[in-house]
Structure 1
């Protein structure tokens, strides 16, 4: 196990412990559709075998975990708890958390800046207490109107010097922006983010809906520093060459990719990663939603090594690549 672990792809919506979510829900007086804590824990789980697709996985996160986190107090506690837990459980000492502030402001009923400030307070407190390095990435939503995502980019630029390090484009891949007419609008948004000093990543190529063609379109049009998942790129040698030539790093999330059926088996995951390795495509190992998936970084590494997906030396190299690709200074 490498001594310095890095997690670059972890969603706040899937990373808060069930007992913390349970406590927050009761603090807010939120009515839950369960009778006790154990039923609640199952409600907010998307462990492998329970969900059958990316859409089902996202439904769990959006319906309950993000709703419970929708207040300044909840966001401050959520960010603080995640960073502390990742450090205590796996000694992750460099972490980048991502979330969509607009999915935490109850459709505009809560002030967006209060949500952001609260997340930054949680970040500051955890960094101070644990001595780790951390930053926030704002997720634009595929299902949002472009103007809403434009506001998120403006907010990310505004808080860049406070701990926001980048932007992401996430959400159901049935909204295949990279293959549609809105791509030019997002080209300009990502250009603006770069000009404002932000790094960028994009969820794409996780399912056949965007495929390897989606990865190619994103790299050429949006020019991201990293890509979330991007597994479908392994199907096209030209796309893998493009990733290598542009220096775009993939954020691989093993348990998540298995749970959402982005790959059908550990064996297929191994084949995909070895294709990337042999083609010179750099990639990192991440948890995505550790509590939603009942995992942590140590268990992700153990999964890869136990099933011979990657050799120990390859795992260590992925964490060196992660340090180099981090948006946090």
Structure 2
């Protein structure tokens, strides 16, 4: 469907250009060559979403309703066509407002108050509505590290209790170590934050139990219906806590939390092998996962600092993960996080472990990408983590979510990774893809719904989630 937009003369009163005639071209090269958006009356195509005259629907100060009525009055749409295009018209209008505000922020154009003020108000209201929608949307979180999901406030509370019991504790207040609002941790500074601080603070039964409960509360408050937490079994010699006791404490905390009648979120556990582990240490982690399978351990993970090479190459873990699969455990892997450990040779070895899901998936060649698509592997994508940690080049709009979303070859799973460090909830990850990649509310629902099949929680849990999601969609008339 094509619709003629307003002419330049109709637009002129509402915008002053800083560079003459640049409004019809995407760049100077197009201006010189005379290509790009054509002069005079512009046009818009619903499928290609090409707009001219600085998206003149907004510059003419018309609401989407008024714009539609104008088309109808001019004979360009009948009543039935107006009804059918109204959702797209509204989406076009909102996209236009957002784009114009971005341009004004970059000083590309100056909007008159008749446009700018209503636009700011509209976007503010629409953003609030989007945030509420994304929080209420039932969501599934499949890539969340337990220790990395502990908020600074929770760590501060644990610190105060430890300080009272041990005045000479050799740790600073977490509000100093991890200042509120600081999220720019890269791969060089991220991992030491855990080894040198968080693991030293949460190293006994009481602190692990308290922090686990708080993490569960935070995820459920954010609208998570199903959660797979992951953690590496640890022993703390200073407190006498063994790996077995650590895993039991986490599982007991989950069991105790789910006994609350008001709790509807289902939580299961994944145990993580550190890529720097020896074969025997990795095998011990798998044995623990098998031992506690009856209590809610449903899978295993390969994680760890991708900048630090393991003791030997990753082929030593093939037998380890084969044993996990043979015992009915799901397998997920941190995959292509850093260029240093993302050679085709290494990634093919990881794929030989036959994972059900892979996480991050940043530094992949075309050959590896083709193989991933061929297998239709579920991708755990952690957008805020990748941006803040500078694991990708650029910002949110440059994230590889866009490419995978367009291709529709693999199920995509939005994840937080470490919400306690990067301060972006799973709801906010949905807001991000709506903002930067133009997903509609229905597409956000579909994105959440497609996360059901890749869970490790079994068919009964998948059925519960499907029923929940369908009921929610019908109730919200999507």
TM-score interval, smaller chain: 0.7 to 0.9
The 1:47/1:7 distance shift into structure 2, 3 A limit, reads: farther
Aligned twin of 1:11: 145
Q: 1:175: how far off?
A: 3.8
Distance in 1 between residues matched to 2:181 and 2:194, nearest whole Å: 9
Aligned twin of 2:341: 210
In the alignment, does 2:226 pair up with 1:94?
yes
CA contact (8 A) 2:358 2:380 kept: yes
The 1:176/1:216 distance shift into structure 2, 3 A limit, reads: farther
CA contact (8 A) 1:70 1:106 kept: no
User: Which is worse superposed, 131-140 or 314-323?
Assistant: 314-323
Distance in 1 between residues matched to 2:201 and 2:174, nearest whole Å: 15
Superposed CA RMSD? 2.4
What SS does structure 1 have at the residue aligned with 2:333?
strand
Aligned twin of 2:321: 190
CA contact (8 A) 2:433 2:439 kept: yes
Distance in 1 between residues matched to 2:170 and 2:439, nearest whole Å: 41
1:277-312 residue CA offsets vs partner (Å, 9 max, x unmatched) = 233122210111112111211112112222236554
CA contact (8 A) 1:266 1:307 kept: yes
The 1:38/1:47 distance shift into structure 2, 3 A limit, reads: closer
Q: 1:99: how far off?
A: 0.9
Distance in 2 between residues matched to 1:47 and 1:215, nearest whole Å: 32
What SS does structure 2 have at the residue aligned with 1:262?
coil
Q: After TM superposition, which residue ranges in structure 1, 4 or more long, deviate above 6 angstroms?
A: none
| Structure 1: segments with no counterpart, 5+ residues | none
In the alignment, does 2:219 pair up with 1:81?
no
Q: Which of structures 1 and 2 has the bigger CA Rg?
A: 2
The 1:174/1:68 distance shift into structure 2, 3 A limit, reads: same
Report which structure shows greater RCO (CA 8 Å, sep ≥6): 1
The 1:191/1:309 distance shift into structure 2, 3 A limit, reads: farther
Distance in 1 between residues matched to 2:449 and 2:237, nearest whole Å: 39
TM-score after normalising by structure 1: 0.87
User: Which is worse superposed, 55-64 or 183-192?
Assistant: 55-64
In the alignment, does 2:303 pair up with 1:170?
yes
Q: 1:84: how far off?
A: 1.1
Aligned twin of 1:327: 456
CA contact (8 A) 2:402 2:437 kept: no
Q: 1:314: how far off?
A: 4.1
Q: 1:107: how far off?
A: 8.0
Aligned twin of 2:86: none
TM-score after normalising by structure 2: 0.61
What SS does structure 1 have at the residue aligned with 2:413?
strand
Structure-to-structure mapping, 1:1-329, within 5 angstroms: 1=134, 3-28=137-162, 29=166, 31-34=169-172, 38-42=175-179, 47-48=182-183, 50-51=184-185, 53-88=186-221, 90-102=222-234, 104-106=235-237, 109-129=240-260, 130-176=263-309, 182-211=313-342, 213=344, 214-219=346-351, 221-233=352-364, 236-264=365-393, 265-269=395-399, 272-279=400-407, 280-308=409-437, 310-329=439-458
1:40-95 residue CA offsets vs partner (Å, 9 max, x unmatched) = 541xx6843x32x223212213322222222222222222211111111x111101
What SS does structure 2 have at the residue aligned with 1:74?
helix
CA contact (8 A) 1:201 1:228 kept: yes
| Structure 2: segments with no counterpart, 5+ residues | 1-133, 459-478
The 1:312/1:153 distance shift into structure 2, 3 A limit, reads: same
Distance in 2 between residues matched to 1:108 and 1:63, nearest whole Å: 16
Distance in 2 between residues matched to 1:46 and 1:157, nearest whole Å: 39
Q: 1:144: how far off?
A: 2.0
What SS does structure 1 have at the residue aligned with 2:372?
helix
Q: 1:240: how far off?
A: 2.3
Q: 1:155: how far off?
A: 0.3
CA contact (8 A) 1:266 1:309 kept: no
What SS does structure 2 have at the residue aligned with 1:255?
helix
Q: What count of residue pairs does the alignment treat as equivalent?
A: 315
The 1:218/1:18 distance shift into structure 2, 3 A limit, reads: same
